[in-house]
Every structure is written in structure tokens, then in C-alpha cells.
Amino acid sequence: MYYAPSTDVIDGREPAGTTSFAESIMTACTRACTALLLSVALTACSSRSNSATGPNAFVDGTAAFATSKVNPGYTAYVSGSLTDVQTTPTGGALLAGGGTDSDAGMQWLLARGGTRSTGKYGDVVVLRTSGTNGYNKYLLNFGANSVTSIVISSVNGANSAYVRNAITNAEVIFLAGGDQSTYVNLWTGTALQTAVNARVAAGVPIGGTSAGLAVLGPYVYAAFNASSTSPTVLANPYDVSVTLTNALFTVPVLQNLITDSHFMVRDRMGRLVTFLARLQQDGRATAPRGIGVDEQSAVGIAPDGAATVFGAGNGAYLLSVTSGATRVCAVNTPLTYTPVTTVRVPVGALFNLSTWTAPNSTAYTLSARNGLVTSSKGAIY
């Protein structure tokens, strides 16, 4: 079934600005001429063995192959070396909370994909449904061999050989921000989904920011209808905005988790508590756990569960409940749900996801009663 998309979170790594009509015409003419020249030049050059060339493939942001009149359902932007490299990935997952990316977190993700030499990494594929090539130069500057950003606009695009091959040959996979409902709608049951899961199973690290983070866990807040806000869903846990789905991707280290982003900045504690209650109430999970990552923060998690919080912002919040939690979770009824054990892990601190322990952080208890969240320490964050 196709659901109408709703924008929940926006990825900021795209240049802002507007262009006049005259400027648009001039730009289009310039690009057309450049495309013709590049097409001739690229025909004479050998292409990298792992880079299929499709009708909407771009090299460094300029159309290189635009001869097909059939919309392939994707647009690809390729930057960096045309020579394929192979590294030895060591796996893991980067959970980024949106807003300004954490440089340290992104460098951690690249390193988990394996190194060619000190500070030199493998090939990266960035998957998204909106935006363009905002991550290409950014990741190349950190040592990526190449970056291929692919904007998927249809299920056909997600099933294309180009997309499948790009993922199959990547040493790092990253999901940009945008609208997670389009990720679920366009990627479920496709070659893209299969290829990503195969690469993760083979030890390739995966990361996501904002909407990209939302679809990494086994329980996904899909935002099909609208973006849930804490006051709305605490007042009614079955508000139409609460649309929870099963896993889009299988990331073993993220078992039994639901994730959320822009956490403190957008006051999402109440909605994550509500998501946990719904998972229990609907029989999806017995004792689910949640991780909320604040804006500008990122969490790097190794396959053994060892985790580091990078960046700025307020870090990460770990929420857990037992199967015996007191729960009143019903339609049009303010939520009652307690106790919810919560740990804030600040930037620079460590924790272990597998053992759910944070040695240098102190746990506190949240309680939702009649739609109001209170904390054993006073503040809920």
C-alpha cells in the first residue's frame, strides 16, 4: 500500500538559495553544453569497474548521461575517483540526530568501512529521495575514494540495476535526511532494500541522519500522515500521526530498538515514550528500547555494541521499559506509562548497546501519567 508522505525531518546539507528564470535558462544551456562535451569525453575514457552508467548518472554534478527519454526513477551524482578500491569493512552503525553533521561521527563511519592508507577510505553510497549531492564534497574531503549520491524517485528506481550495483560495490552506506515515509514507500521490497541488507550482513557499516536514522532500527516511525508531536500523542497515543512499521533494514546491532532524532531541540521525549508504549500495547515488542539522538549529535556503534557519542548538541538518551510496566494506552485516552528508565549519555561519553550500560552516566525515571511526563530528577532531559 502507498501512503501519502509527510515531511517529518529535514536534512540540512544542501545549498540554499533561489534562482531567477533568466538564470535558470542560462544555467540549463550551460549544463546542456557541458553535458554534450562530457558525454564525448567520457565515452573515450575507461569507467570504473563498479560504476554502472545510467540515463540519469551525473559526474561531479554535471549531466554526463542524459540521452534516455525514459525516467529511470533515480538521479545519481558521482564524485571522486573513477577507479574502484576495495577495503576491509569492520561494520557498525552511525545514528545521527540531524542538523549539522558531526565531522568526527562521519569520519568514524568512513573508517569502519576500511582504510586504503592513513586517512584514505573506500567508496561511499548516499541514498535519499530528495536533495542532490550535498554530501559528495563533504565526504571526499574526509578521504572517501568516491561518493555516489542517488536520489530515488520511484519504486522502479529502487529496483534498478544501477542502484543495486552502486550499493553492492560500496564500502560505506549512508541514508540522508528528508522524509522517511518516502523511504518506506519507495524502498520496501525492492532491490535497494535487498542490496543494503546484504552489504550490512557482509560487514559494511551503515549510517543515517534524521529521517535516515528513523529507518535504521527494527521498529520504524514512518511519519506517513503527519509528524507526531509530544503533546498530541501523549494526549492520544493512537493519534493518526503515530504510524509505526516493521524494519526496512536489518542491522543486527540495533535489535529491539526504535530511534528518534532532533531529540531535545524538538522536545521529542514524550513521543518516544509514546512509541514505546504503542509497541507494547500493539504486541510488537515485549520490552522495547529507544534511543533519542539530539541535533548535531551522533552515536557510533561497533558490532559488539561499544558506542561513542560524537558531535555537539545534548548527546543521546537511552530509554527502556520492562514487560511489567504500568500502561494505559488507548484511543483518545491520555497516556499512562511507568516506569521508563532513562539515561542521558553526553557528547564524548561511552556506553554499550549490547549490555545497555553507560558506566559514567546516571539513570533516572520518567513517568507518563494522564498525558503528562514527569522525571525523578525534575527535568525530563
At the second CATH level, the architecture of 69-375 is: 3-Layer(aba) Sandwich (3.40)
281-306 mean pLDDT:
98
| Count of beta carbons in the 10 Å neighbourhood of residue 110 | 27
pLDDT at 34: 43
Q: Name the DSSP letter for residue 357.
A: B
* More confident of the two residues 8 and 136: 136
Mean pLDDT of the chain: 88
With a cut of 80, say whether residue 231 has pLDDT above it.
yes
Contact 156, 72 (CB under 8 A): yes
92-121 mean pLDDT:
98
Q: What percentage of the chain exceeds 90 in pLDDT?
A: 81
What would the pLDDT profile of 161-199 be if each residue is shown by its tens digit?
999 999 999 999 999 999 999 999 999 999 999 999 999
* More confident of the two residues 4 and 319: 319
70 band by pLDDT with thresholds 50, 70 and 90: confident
pLDDT at 61: 52
Cell 506517513 belongs to residue: 224
pLDDT at 317: 98
32 band by pLDDT with thresholds 50, 70 and 90: very low
What would the pLDDT profile of 115-126 be if each residue is shown by its tens digit?
999 999 999 999
pTM comes to 0.86
Fill in the amino acid letter for 161. Answer: A
What would the pLDDT profile of 251-280 be if each residue is shown by its tens digit?
999 999 999 999 999 999 999 999 999 999
120-143 mean pLDDT:
98
The C-alpha cell at 250 is 536489518
Q: What percentage of the chain exceeds 70 in pLDDT?
A: 82
60 band by pLDDT with thresholds 50, 70 and 90: low
Contact 36, 65 (CB under 8 A): no
Q: Do the bridges between strand 115-117 and strand 146-152 make them parallel or antiparallel, or are there none, so unpaired?
A: unpaired
pLDDT at 200: 98
* More confident of the two residues 158 and 39: 158
Picking from 47, 46, 63, 76, the residue whose alpha carbon sits closest to that of residue 147 is 76
Q: For the chain, what percentages of helix, strand and coil (3-state, to nearest 5) are there?
A: 25, 30, 45
47-59 mean pLDDT:
49
- Between CA 64 and CA 111 the distance in angstroms is 30
HEC profile of 189-244: CCHHHHHHHHHHHCCCCEEEECHHHHCCCCEEECCCCCCCCHHHHHHCCCCCCCCE
129-136 mean pLDDT:
98
pLDDT at 69: 73
